[in-house]
Amino acid sequence: MENNWVRVYTSNQLFHVEMIKEFLSDNGIAAFIMNKQDSFYKFGDIEIYTKPDDVMKAKLLIEKFES
């Protein structure tokens, strides 16, 4: 992983994070998911990262997706 990726979204619901990542991808934004949840107890965060140039567009799309 490159060090210059920026976190744009955090949740504890994997399915929701997957849907948002797919929505970003459909709109031309490269993104990846980092799952920091405990594998047994399922607590912790799941994060979406994008490149710095896509941060503003990604955040606007995420806001649109959630409304």
Distance of CA 38 to the CA centre of its chain: 18
Tell me what percent of the residues of the chain surpass a pLDDT of 70. Answer: 96
pLDDT at 39 over 90: no
Give the Cβ contact number of residue 28 at 10 Å. Answer: 9
Q: What is the CATH number of the domain that holds 27?
A: 3.30.70.790
Range of the domain at 27: 6-66
**Count of structural domains within the chain:** 1
Asked if residue 10 is part of any domain, the answer here is yes
Asked if residue 41 is part of any domain, the answer here is yes
Q: Which segments of 1-67 does DSSP mark as H helices, in order?
A: 14-26, 55-66
Does the CA dihedral 7-62-14-53 come out positive or negative? negative
Q: For residue 2, what pLDDT is reported?
A: 55
pLDDT in tens, 9-34: 999 998 999 999 999 999 999 999 99
